[in-house]
Amino acid sequence: MPAPRRKKLLPFALGGVVLAVLLALGTWQVQRLGWKLALIEQVQRQLAAAPAAAPGPSAWRQLSAADTYRRVVVQGRFDHARETCTQALSQRGAGCWVLTPLHTTEGWWVLVNRGFVLPAQRDPATRAAGQVPGEVRVQGLLRQSEPGGGFLRRNNPALQRWTSRDVAAIARHHQLPLQATAPYFIDAADTVPGGPEGGLTVVQFRNHHLVYALTWFSLAGLAGFWLWRVARSP
């Protein structure tokens, strides 16, 4: 092999690897874009559908991320003595979400995010009128558990410090029967007079996959142009 060609072999091979990686990344982002658009379309259909009965124990194993934001309805009695306040940042400002266990008429439990309260209303005694007794009917959106905690902050049940809505951890802390507690929670759609403000769920998806794909393909184009220059150089 002539010496000039041997000199070009290593940079050409490295450039080819870079080009292949950039093309693979661009293709992956196109696939992610298709997945995200399908997910958004599915969620929009779920939000437009009539509410269905909240999934019971027989359906829990089949639940997936695709069930998020399903409109559901459930009946039962709140156990206000075991409510949990988890850190929240809403359009109303900083405060907390009030999660209250609901003992359903079918005999299982589900955590209901009854809504948002400001720090001054964290104590249930400040909103006694909203601690509804008796059987209630709750309509809202099915949400997935948020295990572990928030960004760089862990839940600390001993100190009543909750940075995320971790269903299993909250159920254990309040000694709810884990086998009979739904693995999801429900964002209540309505506000009970004197209680937390419901209906504040923000349904929004980050979708920058097209931008990412164009970026990777543009870089791949530059890499391809550089390889062409290397191939044509003396």
Contact 72, 47 (CB under 8 A): no
Residue 153: which pLDDT band, with cuts at 50, 70 and 90? confident
Phi-psi region of 159 (alpha: psi -120 to 50; beta: other; left: phi over 0): alpha
Does the pLDDT of residue 3 top 60, yes or no? no
Tell me which range, 8-12, 63-67, 183-187, 215-219, is most confidently predicted by mean pLDDT: 183-187
Domain ranges, ordered by start, for the chain: 3-44+208-232, 70-188
Q: Residue 170's Cα: distance from chain center in Å?
A: 17
Contact 108, 180 (CB under 8 A): yes
For position 50, what pLDDT does the model report?
87
Greater model confidence, 48 or 78:
78
d(CA 183, CA 177): 12
Task: Using only the alpha carbons of the chain, give its radius of gyration.
Answer: 26
The DSSP call for residue 161 is: B
For position 5, what pLDDT does the model report?
59
Lowest-pLDDT range of 46-55, 97-106, 175-184: 46-55
How many helices (H) and strands (E) would you count in the chain?
3, 9
d(CA 147, CA 86): 12
Amino acid of residue 136: V
Q: Residue 163's Cα: distance from chain center in Å?
A: 14
For position 152, what pLDDT does the model report?
63
The DSSP call for residue 134 is: S
Tell me which range, 49-53, 62-66, 142-146, is most confidently predicted by mean pLDDT: 142-146
Does the pLDDT of residue 2 top 60, yes or no? no
pLDDT (tens digit, 9 = 90+) per residue, 165-184? 999 999 999 999 999 999 99
